[in-house]
Amino acid sequence: MFRRILIANRGEIALRVLRACHEMNIEAVCVFSEEDRGASYLELADRTVCIGGPPPRDSYLRSDRIIAAAEVTGADAIHPGYGFLAENAAFADKCRACNIAFIGPPSEAMRQLGDKAAARALAQRLKVPTIPGTDGVIDDDNELLRAATQMGFPVMIKAAAGGGGRGMRIVPEKTDLVPALKQARQEAQAAFNNGAVYLEKFLERPRHVEVQIVGDHRGNLVHLNERDCSVQRRYQKLIEESPSPAIDSRTRKALCAAAIRLAKAAGYNNAGTVEFLVDHKSRFYFIEVNTRIQVEHPVTEMVTGIDLIKAQIRVAAEEPLDFTQRTVAGSGHAIECRINAEDPDQKFRPCAGTIARFRPPGGPGVRVDTFAHDGWRISPHYDSLVAKLIVHKPTREEAIRTMQRCLDEFIIEPIHTTLPFQRKLIGHPDFAAGHVDTGFVERSAMQNATVE
Amino acid sequence: MINIEQIRQLIEMMVTHDLVEISLRNGSEEVSLRRPTAVNASSHLPVAMHTLASTGNGPSALSGEAVATESDKRPEERLVEITSPMVGTFYAAPDADSPPFVEVGSTIQLGSVVCILEAMKVFNEIKSEVAGTIERILVRNAQTVEYGQPLFLVRPS
């Protein structure tokens, strides 16, 4: 087992990993930027090393300084957290070349699954469903018509050269396709100087459902069921829960089996998440794999009782997982709300500033993962996550009620946070009914606007 | 003879200047004071030392940790720090057999090599961005240094 782990990250995930280390009697070395100097979580570290200036490219992304810090402190492993260098295969290679264990998957698996196109190709080879689409650009309208008919309408026309909604058209029926193609091509040409378009099946009101997997070096690859992350805004997750209220046990089984199949084929070990979209007919489609521990991992930890960070450390130390697929059991329902320093009334503009009063909630089944405290200054250099509020109760209804209580208790002043917005989302009847999809937040935000 | 009053003054000085460690030797007597701080408790990387006021009780030799000066009124603001641009191990000389690049009192120009910082078997020559005289060397040979850690105090010319 490792003697000393260097945590190549900051904030709440650095604190999370530090706690796991200390519970395993492993020393924790925390690196920090000059912006984070004085952060109270650093006082808990056994060693700290300043690795640069405030911008991540001058500190948390400096693999040379991070590895040097591991060297001078005698760390025998590095945990990359999430973000920053967590999915950087070159960094993983460098660590391993310096005889420092990288707490994450093998570099080859990271490369293969990290490349979206390669991952999609692998999924297709394994007969894991992917979003049907014309893989590549097609200019011939008749061919496009054929492809669209095969996929099934509605389809989406997308510009090959760019995004942001330009050159995109939703085509509800066969008869709409050709005129829509003309418009989309014109728009794409104007926006990107390239009128090439491709087609993708349009999923109406899809849900984002992801499967947590973790595997050791002995080929024991286990799934820890799913998380439903449909409540998101601009592809940023706001609320995550497990189990998903929208899928039946048959779909769950198939999703988890597909995730395992994919991970096994890529030679995956350590922790990872396989993401899918699920449509209203419970058909699921593979999107991508996140080859790292994720922000929302506590949701799975609460439901399964498994400490994922400790599992990561054990796997990296080439120890076996202390559970198997048969011994994994989910119990109850967990929900996580991400609390960000953003102003929901100003288009979620990130707010920098100092927190004067930080009063997190508590009680049975309540977990708050945070590094913030009274006097903590939110930096404009890093992401706006202030705290993760997780509740775990025997039923979904109780979990929602407890989350409401906790959101009401939670005080973060005077900066703007997404607390009021989360209160609205959790209290929304669609959420209570479990009828949310990835468009839910935008729709409810628009409703807020019109009510005013 | 080192007395309680001197020790009390040393303690006050340590608190005022946020020092971590002082050793005071007077002839055959030696007093060592170590002060735990939040930084100290969590890091084995020493913080920079500041100038001390003399105790005024006759000559006393301090150990290499801190240097006594005439008074603490010398304006530190006039001195320029050379800080570490990286994480690594500080070496004062190009190799074990050579003299150090600089010593207290050495004159340096813009671009003068002042030390080597080693990380991952790569030896980096650190060049000064200021011309002047080395006033103080703040780290020891083979000491670990972090980004931003002050290495030298230079009196600019």
Q: What is the pLDDT of residues B103-132, one digit of tens each?
A: 999 999 999 999 999 998 889 999 999 999
Task: Say whether both A246 and A345 belong to one domain.
Answer: yes
CA distance B47 to B40: 8
CA distance A5 to A43: 16
Instruction: Check if B48 contacts A (Cβ < 8 Å).
Output: no
In this structure, is residue A363 part of a structural domain?
yes
- How far is the alpha carbon of A93 from chain B, nearest alpha carbon, in Å? 15
- How far is the alpha carbon of B86 from chain A, nearest alpha carbon, in Å? 6
Q: Is the pLDDT of residue A253 over 60?
A: yes
Q: Do B119 and A45 touch (CB under 8 A)?
A: no
Average pLDDT of the residues in A124-129: 95
Quickly state the pLDDT bin for A163 (edges 50, 70, 90).
low
Q: Is the pLDDT of residue A417 over 90?
A: yes
- A34: nearest CA partner in chain B: B148
How confident is the model at residue A449, as a pLDDT? 54
Quickly state the pLDDT bin for A447 (edges 50, 70, 90).
low
H-run or E-run covering B144: strand B144-145
Chain A positions contacting chain B at CB under 8 Å are 34, 42-53, 59, 64-65, 67-69, 71-73, 98
Chain B residues with beta carbon closer than 8 angstroms to that of A53:
147-148
- A45: nearest CA partner in chain B: B42
Amino acid, res. A447: Q
In this structure, is residue A90 part of a structural domain?
yes
Task: Say whether both A282 and A379 belong to one domain.
Answer: yes
How confident is the model at residue B59, as a pLDDT? 38
Task: Say whether both A195 and A216 belong to one domain.
Answer: no
Q: Do A71 and B119 touch (CB under 8 A)?
A: yes
For chain B, state the CA radius of gyration: 17
Q: Do A50 and B149 touch (CB under 8 A)?
A: yes
CA distance A112 to A125: 14
- How far is the alpha carbon of A150 from chain B, nearest alpha carbon, in Å? 57
Task: Say whether both A17 and A156 belong to one domain.
Answer: no
- How far is the alpha carbon of A45 from chain B, nearest alpha carbon, in Å? 6
For residues A257, A258, A259, A260, the Cα torsion angle rounded to the nearest 10 degrees is 50
Q: Do B120 and A98 touch (CB under 8 A)?
A: yes
Strand A270-278 relative to strand A207-215, pairing: antiparallel
In this structure, is residue A121 part of a structural domain?
no
3-state DSSP assignment of residue A60? coil
- How far is the alpha carbon of B88 from chain A, nearest alpha carbon, in Å? 6
Buried-state track B22-52, b at ≥16 Cβ within 10 A, e below 16: bbbebeeeeeeeeeeeebeebbebbbbbbbb
Q: What is the pLDDT of residues B22-79, one digit of tens each?
A: 887 777 777 888 877 544 444 444 333 333 333 333 333 333 333 444 444 455 568 9
Q: What is the pLDDT of residues A176-195, one digit of tens each?
A: 999 999 999 998 888 878 88
In this structure, is residue A303 part of a structural domain?
yes
Task: Say whether both A227 and A349 belong to one domain.
Answer: yes
**Closest partner CB to A48 (pick from B42, B120, B148):** B42
Task: Say whether both A194 and A314 belong to one domain.
Answer: no
Q: Which domain holds residue A233?
A: 207-451
The token pair at A362 is: 């508590």
Task: Select from A201, A225, A241 the last residue of a domain.
Answer: A201
CA distance A288 to B155: 58
How confident is the model at residue A197, as a pLDDT? 86
Asked if A292 is an active-site residue, the reply is yes
Whether the Cβ atoms of residue A49 and residue A27 lie closer than 8 Å to each other: no
Tell me, rounded to whole angstroms, the distance of Cα B100 from its chain centroid: 16
Q: Do B88 and A72 touch (CB under 8 A)?
A: yes
Q: Provide the domain count of chain A.
A: 3
Task: Say whether both A367 and A325 belong to one domain.
Answer: yes
CA distance A174 to A305: 50
Catalytic residue among A10, A62, A292, A314: A292
Q: Is the pLDDT of residue A84 over 80?
A: yes
Instruction: Check if B88 contacts A (Cβ < 8 Å).
Output: yes
Task: Say whether both A275 and A344 belong to one domain.
Answer: yes
CATH number at residue A85: 3.40.50.20
Q: Do A69 and B146 touch (CB under 8 A)?
A: yes
Task: Say whether both A24 and A92 belong to one domain.
Answer: yes
Q: Is the pTM above the cut of 0.90?
A: no
Mutate which: A7, A46, A49, vs B, most B CBs within 10 A: A49
Domains of chain B: 4-62 (no CATH), 76-156 (2.40.50.100)
Q: Do A50 and B146 touch (CB under 8 A)?
A: yes
H-run or E-run covering B123: strand B122-127
In this structure, is residue A135 part of a structural domain?
no
Chain A residues with beta carbon closer than 8 angstroms to that of B150:
none
How confident is the model at residue A193, as a pLDDT? 82
Instruction: Check if B4 contacts A (Cβ < 8 Å).
Output: no
A165: left (phi over 0), alpha (psi -120 to 50) or beta: left
Q: What is the pLDDT of residues A304-348, one digit of tens each?
A: 999 999 999 999 999 999 999 999 999 999 999 999 999 999 989
Task: Say whether both A50 and A168 belong to one domain.
Answer: no
CA distance B83 to B93: 17
CA distance A405 to A58: 41
In this structure, is residue A116 part of a structural domain?
no
Task: Select from A186, A201, A216 the last residue of a domain.
Answer: A201
Task: Say whether both A270 and A362 belong to one domain.
Answer: yes
- With CA atoms as reference, report the closest residue to A188 among A137, A244, A129, A237: A137
In this structure, is residue A122 part of a structural domain?
no
Chain B residues with beta carbon closer than 8 angstroms to that of A68:
86-88, 119-120
How confident is the model at residue B149, as a pLDDT? 97
CA distance A27 to B46: 19
In this structure, is residue A127 part of a structural domain?
no
Quickly state the pLDDT bin for A270 (edges 50, 70, 90).
very high
CATH number at residue A187: 3.30.1490.20
Task: Select from A201, A220, A249 the last residue of a domain.
Answer: A201
CATH number at residue A339: 3.30.470.20
Task: Say whether both A98 and A230 belong to one domain.
Answer: no
Q: Do A72 and B87 touch (CB under 8 A)?
A: yes
